[in-house]
Structure 1
Amino acid sequence: MILLFSRIFLEESQLPVLFSKLQFVDVPEGEVIESKDDQFSFEQAFLLQILSEILKERLGDVTVSKDVALFVFEIFKKSIGVLEHAMRGNSGLPSGFTRVDVLGYSLTILRDICAQDGIRGNMVDANDVVDVLLSYGLIELLLSLLGALEPPAIIRKGLKQIENQDSASCYSKPCPYKGFRRDIVALIGNCVYRRKHAQDEIRDRNGILLLLQQCVTDEDNPFLREWGIWSVRNMLEGNDENQKVVAELEIQGSADVPEINALGLRVEVDQRTRRAKLVNIPSSEKSL
């Protein structure tokens, strides 16, 4: 079955046909429903789940066609509307919500499609599929989504002291499932792997600092730090312009982090080097 699904739905271009036929398969007979692009059925989400698992297991063996890659990208774009009303997810995929699962599995499929050239050693065909996705605005969309998300949990805790933070956070979107931010960062990292034009696009769209901010631990996104480091590494590899931007960054200030303060430490910025450092909190301040 795995081989059959791989051949029919990933390597050939039959996915759009079945996916469209599954759209309203779970609607009771006789019920009239308006067709909307952002409405998905449980069966559609389940099909994407199967394909995501197959692609993850056979990452180096399956060749995904450009038509299938673009179709999954279209599904992903149509599914992001769920973020407008999504609550913070309490679990990973499957989340138990059809629209969230469609969003997540289409994202992970794209992530693994863009990882294939790294597995195979930069084969031309794999690069071609990724470059097609990039030409349709994949990087621009991912940076926009990442920038719209609320900060990782550890950063949110440190920002509670900043005035008007609560009112500002209402404009930020939570991760609809645990790992959503991580999967976006992973997809970006795979896209920029040894592709200078993709690396340059990150810089041109002011995304370098945004990616650097993902190199933290986050209870809502397991392994975010590892994927963040991987993405930054790929963004900088062989790109002097990006390396120069990072080298010229300066720390502008610091925020108190309760977990660090509990250890009797605080973060200060060295005025000479503009680097962060940990210092002991004086005894006189501890009693305040």
Structure 2
Amino acid sequence: MAATAGNNMDISASIAGVLKDKHSPAHLQVLKTFTAALRDEEYRDAVEQETFSSLLGVLARLQEELQEELQDAQRDSDGLQLQLTAECFRAQRNSCVQSKRNQNLLRELGFIDVSLKLLSLLQASDFGSQDAAFEPLRSGIQFLGNLGVGNQMCKDDIWQLSFPEILLQLLSVEDEKVVDYTCMVLHTCLDEAKVEDLSKPQNIKLALRLMELCRTQPDLDWTVLTVTQHFLKSSALVESMYSEMCHNERVTLLELLLAQMREEDLDECGIHTSVAHFLASSFQQGCGAVLTLATGSASSEDVLQEALTVISLLDVLCEMTSDRKQFMFLQDHLDLLVTTVELLKQVHAIGKASKNIFSTTQNFSSFAEDGDEDPSSYSPVISFKAHLIRLIGNLCHSHTSNQNKVRELEGIPLILDNCNIDGNNPFISQWAIFAIRNLLEHNTQNQELVAGLEQRGPVDYSALKELGLLMEERDGGFLLKTVRKDS
């Protein structure tokens, strides 16, 4: 039921009384009544500026009193000031719901500045019970979120007054709701220009803190939304974050990139093409780290994480080149193709030279359906060879010069030699079929090479048949056909 004009005046007078008198539980009840009344749309639209001015006065007074308490090492034994602060924030939060008029009014009166100063004070201080301080923190941050929804001027003011220090402070509070609500405010305020602000060296800590939260608290929805909907669309920010991250943080970033691409349509991926350039270059520069996993030299956690970063980079590049038009320019990066083929050669040779992490295995226990296996026993290079072959196949799809380059690098027999079942590389045969098809399609020289392998020993037509393929000579050329393996 809508509040009457008389009730409006009564509440307004009561709030003015809170501003003048010594705090009491009755004042808390006045504020709770105001908060409840603001849930009604008709009442929200009828609240006068004078009432909000009185509320701002109460908030400013609470800020001064809490500051004095800290300086004098005193404590409010019943926590009344914190309860009053939380209720002021709740009233502000409710007043902004679907009300641009109230958003603008609170902005013009100066609520943003006073509220942020109070939040900064609360997060940095010990007011006895942490829960007592968390309640006003949560409500105050929710107010900022409601204030900014659909209101660019409010967003800009919140950003100007809170970025980066206060936002970084709030993201460091040991309370999940405070952190999640802060991410909500950050998500609400961000636009292209503000994301660029984050990429600057003096501000990068805020972006890195959010990435750390994605890794350590992945269940916080607003952290992941902010990264996927804003951060990943800025090549400058992605590069700045990547250069400042340790390896396990880079893995988190790459996992989010991969998940984002898989969730979006092939032609509507919001990730900038410059990000693909950067990640391809990073893969080329660091791919050798994977080889240390075979020698036992990967004794430190950092070395292992560096290798896992390379593996994650490969996964992202495979996804980017899977018929995504915006990223298919990577086919023209000849160095990327050469690096991938050479790495496959090295990994394959190391696996054959002795028993190690790259050797073929018939053990599929890592994929037990019941989940009985200890995750720590999983091989870190699961599917690595298969994905190298997948990337080669992607880069050669309808690309004659890349098909020829793989032939020159002796990559075709190499791929044929990886058609066997391998517990460390499930589906490697399927990716080999895919790659061989792309290498032979409309390429007579590659077809002739495969046909000639019949007389060359271990890599012959039986290997093709194992892949489910058959080379058939026809009209002076060669035709690749699919056959059943048991035929």
TM-score for the superposition, normalised by structure 1: 0.63
The answer as to whether partners of 2:290 and 2:310 remain within 8 angstroms in 1 is no
Which of 279, 282, 289 is the aligned partner of 1:72?
279
**Aligned partners of 2:318, 2:295: CA distance in 1, in Å?**
22
CA-to-partner distance for each residue in 1:109-151, whole Å, 9 max, x for gaps?
Answer: 111111133xxxxx4x443x2234x24x011111111111236
One-letter amino acid of the counterpart of residue 55, structure 1: M
Which of 419, 422, 427 is the aligned partner of 1:223?
427
State the partner residue of 1:166: none
The answer as to whether partners of 2:251 and 2:312 remain within 8 angstroms in 1 is yes
CA-to-partner distance for each residue in 1:87-112, whole Å, 9 max, x for gaps?
Answer: 499xxxxxx94223211110011111
Which of 298, 305, 330 is the aligned partner of 1:130?
330
Equivalent positions of 1:179-194 (< 5 A) are 179-194=383-398
- After superposition, the Cα gap between the structure-2 partners of 1:88 and 1:150, relative to the gap in structure 1 and judged at 3 Å, is farther
One-letter amino acid of the counterpart of residue 82, structure 1: A
The answer as to whether partners of 1:12 and 1:65 remain within 8 angstroms in 2 is yes
State the partner residue of 1:238: 442
User: Is 2:269 the partner of 1:62?
Assistant: yes
Equivalent positions of 1:1-288 (< 5 A) are 4-6=226-228, 8-13=230-235, 14-23=237-246, 40=247, 42-58=248-264, 60=266, 61-62=268-269, 64-87=271-294, 97-117=304-324, 123=325, 125-127=326-328, 129-132=329-332, 134-135=333-334, 137-150=335-348, 169-170=353-354, 174=358, 176-253=380-457
- After superposition, the Cα gap between the structure-2 partners of 1:100 and 1:152, relative to the gap in structure 1 and judged at 3 Å, is closer
**Aligned partners of 1:102, 1:7: CA distance in 2, in Å?**
22
The answer as to whether partners of 2:350 and 2:358 remain within 8 angstroms in 1 is no
**Aligned partners of 1:195, 1:63: CA distance in 2, in Å?**
25
Larger radius of gyration: 2
CA-to-partner distance for each residue in 1:223-274, whole Å, 9 max, x for gaps?
Answer: 000011011011111111111111121244459xxxxxxxxxxxxxxxxxxx
Q: What is the percentage of aligned positions where both structures have the same residue? A: 25
**Aligned partners of 2:451, 2:231: CA distance in 1, in Å?**
45
**Aligned partners of 1:199, 1:63: CA distance in 2, in Å?**
30
How far apart are residue 18 of structure 1 and its match? 1.5
**Aligned partners of 2:355, 2:338: CA distance in 1, in Å?**
20
Greater helix fraction, Structure 1 or Structure 2: 2
The Cα RMSD (Å) is 3.1
One-letter amino acid of the counterpart of residue 400, structure 2: K
**Aligned partners of 2:445, 2:336: CA distance in 1, in Å?**
22
How far apart are residue 194 of structure 1 and its match? 1.0
How far apart are residue 205 of structure 1 and its match? 1.7
- After superposition, the Cα gap between the structure-2 partners of 1:152 and 1:78, relative to the gap in structure 1 and judged at 3 Å, is closer
The answer as to whether partners of 1:8 and 1:15 remain within 8 angstroms in 2 is no
How far apart are residue 173 of structure 1 and its match? 7.5
TM-score for the superposition, normalised by structure 2: 0.39
Higher RCO, Cα 8 Å, sep 6+: 1
One-letter amino acid of the counterpart of residue 451, structure 2: A
State the partner residue of 2:149: none
**Aligned partners of 1:218, 1:88: CA distance in 2, in Å?**
20
Range with greater deviation from structure 2 (48-57 or 215-224): 48-57
| Count of aligned residue pairs for this structure pair | 209
* Other structure's SS at 1:218 match: coil
